[in-house]
Amino acid sequence: MQARLLYRDGLMLVIDKPAGVAVHRGPKGGANLEDDFDALRFGLPRKPALAHRLDRDTAGCLVLGRHHKALEKLGLLFKQGKIGKTYWAIVVGGPAEAEGLIDKPLARLDAARGWWMKVEASGLPAKTGWRVCGRGQWRGAPIAWLELTPLTGRTHQLRVHCASEGWPILGDAIYGARAEVPLQLLARRVEVPLSKNQPPVVVEAPAPPHMLETLTACGFADERAPAPAA
């Protein structure tokens, strides 16, 4: 857990969440990140706690509050939409344009589906900005690398919005892009304005191993690779 630490100060931690692991224990139990938070106390009497959530299959920046007052502050910042969030996604096909905004309200699919969502005119407002970072081919089919900026925080918002546009996120078995790879979605960056007198804290997660093949196909250069010799 300490090896996945991306940022630490007196109020918060940011960890690099792995894909395929739930952030907290569900009704059926099973492996989850919270069980290992005791390793992140760093001298404090209590372990940190989640300031927000990421889907089980989403990788990347996960913010934790180190104590009660920190959690209150971070919770308010998230609720007010003051924390900037940027995601990377590999989508099937891709938009024709270079950038745009998806403005489609979302509602729960039905009572039996729990967290599954759908576009619904009577639902809650949901907006997602997007920009194409690269395009390519993967196993004979066109794909695109998108930077997604959620302007609201609805459940499964990015997954539903992309699917509704006709370019679902690769590996999304729920919303229409099942593939032989995990969900190609990364919480790439968070920007947290902790202090009024200081610039926001900006933290980035590296591209995870399970996305390197598709990202590279779209022109991404592995940031963890050593620089070539002079």
Q: Supply the residues annotated as catalytic.
A: 55
Q: Is the pLDDT of residue 144 over 70?
A: yes
Q: What is the DSSP string of 79-121?
A: HTT-SEEEEEEEEES--SSSEEEEE--EEES-GGGTT-EEE-T
Q: Which helix (H) or strand (E) holds 49?
A: strand 49-50
The dihedral built from the CA positions of residue 128, 132, 136 and 140, taken in this order, carries a sign that is: positive
Residue 45, pLDDT > 80, answer yes
Average pLDDT over residues 117-139: 95
Backbone angles phi, psi at 72, to 5 degrees: -65, -45
Angstrom distances, CA of residue 26 to CA of 29, 30, 35, 46, 126: 5, 7, 12, 22, 26
pLDDT at 44 over 80: yes
**160 Cβ contact partners less than 8 Å away, ≥ 6 residues apart:** 106, 117, 118, 119, 154, 175
Q: Extract the tokens encoding 92.
A: 């099937």
Looking at this protein, which amino acid is placed at residue 104?
K
In which band, very low, low, confident or very high, does the pLDDT at 230 lie, cut at 50, 70 and 90? very low
Q: For 48-97, how does the pLDDT look when each residue is reduced to its tens digit (9 = 90+)?
A: 999 999 999 999 999 999 999 999 999 999 999 999 999 999 999 999 99
Q: Is the pTM of this model over 0.75?
A: yes
